[in-house]
A and B are shown apart, each in its own frame.
Chain A
């Protein structure tokens, strides 16, 4: 009996010991699968290689037009880069009946490219999906008749639209950037090709997600561009296409959807660019023209669309969508150097932030539409003081949500276009939200393109159509 008990105890002990070691040796995570890079089997970008693009190879003339109109909207955010129409005609204070009337509309390829205007002519960078070509199209501002088209073959796949840049125009030239970073300069009056530049080929530019969003800048006789790649910024002679200077890019800064803004700080003229990887200030004059004066990698987000907003006191407001939020920096000259301090950094819910459009400054206050991830303020127009961009002075309220649409100011009126094609007229004010009129103009889809206004004609578009609305 005693022997049996011993036997049972030994057997039980042995089994327990085996079980203990089994438990000890067992990896409870053996069934886990690691999430590591490459599980999506990402392929190479097959569309970036192909036959060389002959920029500006095609030209078509459809008609001629003479106009007495003298108004201009020469580039992204207008002549002064502030989204405010100067010397505007008196515009209607309220809308009744058919106001504001759609004068004409034209079909465009899917995209978000806004127009520019010069003395009765409208210039739009379009993409023709049927012909598979980038096309700079010229229309008559008064009746929407297409006058000419300068185009070139380039293969694109739809990716939330294709074209999304605003041409820059002066008396002599038009400067464009296509979806795949092809730069084209043509004569304004005739559409004759002057020169072309493939930034992917020349500077190893990485085409941004959803294609190029950077709007080109003409500064005097120079085209100012930010390719990223091997040169973070370049200047090209408008008349000849000769590269005047190139800014090296040792930090590997990439092209963003943002556009270069001019700035003068303590008498020094410079170009400010909110890139992917950093924000930079590049000298725009003097012996150091084209040199990086200052930069901050504290501002580093994967997608940046709004342009930097620069203040005379050295502050620069930076904002971006996709959860990035905003940052206020202060650039301070210090001898021949510049010092950059981050004054404030916050998430979209905590203050003014933008996903696509750039805030507008009106009588010392900043106005902008909040992104979708701004909590209760999502898609509302808000007003802040630049001294504290996290303190909201007023909002358009929960009934005043505008999507991601554009806005501009003319004749003391602010025009805001909602995603769905609703145009709202507001009296811009530093103390409260004052809505003057509102009308749904068309059944719009993704009406995100920057607007343009000249001679009382307001140009706006959704993903596939451009409309001309008379607002005076």
Chain B
């Protein structure tokens, strides 16, 4: 009995287990490698310079994605938290309320919340935003310009031949390094260099 060999089935189990462990290690290593490669590569992605954007509205219409991969983002540190917000309310709105007829956004993608007198906070619901820039135009004209457009890279297909960039009248679309894919106002200033660009969206 003592000479009896270990059952083959156990060896197979070990083999399978170690094989799976190796496969997992290889896949994790691969993901890490790809991530590392991506973060250090010279790959470029499209982004909008918010200081060049003229809020023409073409980002909503020209993007190959539906709805557009261009979304409004909010630089909270620039916001005035106004009751009469030019990015939220239509010009000469009947009242400063959340009623549909007073809202500038055609999809009600901006949520407004009272903080304390006289401040209101404005939050973008990206699932509703179509990138039309109506709010950006209002905020730029009458406010601090805290609302601005950015290409969201969790949605963008990064077409080599971006259909919005081709028609952008202000040449606001530009290629930026993939590891610093956003030009968020506040961190990114007018004429700012790449060091000013924020890595996070």
Contacts and interface: CB of A to CB of B under 8 A. Distances in A.
A38 B84 contact: no
A399 interface: no
A102 B142 CA distance: 31
Interface stretch (A133-141, A191-199, A321-329): A321-329
A33 B90 CA distance: 20
B80 interface: yes
A-B interface, 7 closest residue pairs, ranked by CB to CB distance from nearest: A323-B91, A35-B100, A37-B97, A39-B98, A373-B141, A372-B141, A40-B112
B100 A40 contact: no
A45 B114 CA distance: 11
B140 A372 contact: yes
Contacts of B83: 209
Interface string B89-133: 011110111111001000010011110111110000000000000
Given A324-B91, A324-B92, A39 B112 contact: yes
Given A37-B97, A322-B142, 11 more contacts: A33-B108, A38-B97, A38-B98, A40-B112, A42-B114, A43-B117, A46-B116, A157-B119, A209-B82, A210-B82, A372-B141
B contacts with A: majority SS: loop
A42 to B, nearest CB: 5
A160 interface: yes
10 contacts: A35-B108, A37-B99, A41-B113, A45-B117, A159-B118, A209-B118, A322-B84, A322-B86, A322-B142, A371-B141
Contacts of B92: 301-302, 322-324
Contacts of A160: 80, 82
A157 B91 contact: no
Q: How large is the interface on B (under 10, 10 to 19, 20 to 34, 35 or more residues)?
A: 20 to 34
Given A35-B99, A302-B84, A372-B140, A40 B113 contact: yes
B114 A40 contact: yes
A303 interface: yes
A379 to B, nearest CB: 10
Contacts of A321: 142
Contacts of A44: 117
Contacts of B95: 37
Interface string A6-18: 0000000000000
Nearest to B121: A40
A35 B98 contact: yes
A269 to B, nearest CB: 32
A27 interface: no
Contacts of A41: 113-114
A4 interface: no
Contacts of A302: 84, 92-93, 96
Contacts of A36: 98-100
Contacts of A47: 117-118
Interface string B128-153: 00000000010011100000000000
A322 B85 CA distance: 10
B81 to A, nearest CB: 9
Nearest to A42: B114
A323 B89 CA distance: 11
Contacts of B84: 209, 302-303, 322
Interface in A292-314: 301-303
A322 B83 CA distance: 13
Nearest to B81: A159
B116 A43 contact: yes
Contacts of B141: 323, 371-373
A44 B117 CA distance: 8
A34 interface: yes
B91 A46 contact: no
A38 B99 CA distance: 8
A86 B71 CA distance: 53
B117 A46 contact: yes
Contacts of A33: 108
Nearest to B93: A302
Interface string A82-119: 00000000000000000000000000000000000000
Given A38-B97, A322-B91, A324-B91, A372 B117 contact: no
Contacts of B120: 40
A321 B138 CA distance: 12
A47 B103 CA distance: 27
Contacts of A40: 97-98, 112-114, 120
Contacts of A46: 116-117
Contacts of B111: 39
Contacts of A159: 80, 82, 118
